[in-house]
A and B are shown apart, each in its own frame.
Chain A
């Protein structure tokens, strides 16, 4: 299938592929990633559908979804993908495209139980969700 994209959409696809080091066109839509993901119930679009939107260059459509923020990089999808696509890296690339516009998805003032939390949780969360 030939996918026609605008130059802007193409730029988005290229950026995702550059940051992730993965080819989004390798996906065969088998749904293994979504089937094994422990967080799908919390996602408003399945990981596999995010792929489809990336292929189409639908940046705006993806960025309004919560999927990449719910992904906790547990790599279950990455180790099970029959096409050996590191889906966790694709999710990271999409997160990075947002964060590199100087966006923070978490604010320290909003963390309710900071004193209770182990250091690695706080460091990990702020690494994944601040620009």
Chain B
């Protein structure tokens, strides 16, 4: 694939997080590295199975890597942080443990054997190496916006799959600065949002959201930027239990805004519970 990037969406990017997919596709097109969806892919399973004897739950992500292999590709890019974490960890296990890879391939049965030659990336790792291109693409700097970056867990932990320093990441800060935004230092930026507890223990998530969003507001943030669809849902949806109304953007939505893309036409921002429109109108980014 010459300029394009082989893209693994995962389930949520096609549904609840379609704003993320839409904005990421638009900005990558502008940057000359379009996302090209895989011919075939499977749900990754969302969480990594941590038991040493549980090879079965490594099969779904490995099967997706097999799909990339069968397309003749050696690199796969994900947008979702949870997919990224699961794919990279399963891949690492396959590459570093010959016996485990053999067992995985026995499970794969009718599929071709996985040879361990595919590398997995998160979109931010690609963007980190495109600083010049990003700077050139900015048409409408976000200099009226104060943004608190939020990383959550899956981009940074455990250490062996981290895309940046586990305690003091800078990748999002650097990108927000390129977009012209004022970066609000966020000491809560690597703390867990409550994750899947949103399903059956939402009181826990509400406390996390109160803490994380509350700190961003206290420090003067107009909005939060992130990339994980589950963090986005939790920080956005569960603000309803708090006094806050802070838009929670995918970083690629802010990038689209800075690149001058038309909100409502070229990208939607349709699935935010906290509507970003009021803020964007107030700051002159929307009519």
Contact = CB atoms under 8 A, between A and B. Distances in A.
A123 B195 contact: no
Contacts of A73: 47-48, 50, 195
A121 B233 contact: yes
Interface residues of B, number: 47
A118 B229 contact: yes
A19 B53 contact: yes
B158 interface: yes
B128 interface: no
Contacts of A3: none
Interface stretch (A23-31, A44-52, A53-61, A86-94): A86-94
A74 interface: yes
Consensus secondary structure, chain A interface? helix
A42 B12 CA distance: 28
A96 interface: yes
Contact of B230 (A19, A116, A120): A120
Contacts of A118: 12, 15-17, 229-230, 233
A110 B233 CA distance: 20
Given A124-B46, A124-B199, 8 more contacts: A73-B195, A79-B156, A88-B50, A96-B54, A120-B229, A122-B199, A123-B11, A124-B47
Interface of A: 18-21, 38-39, 41-42, 70, 72-76, 78-79, 86, 88-89, 92-93, 96, 106, 110-111, 113, 116-129
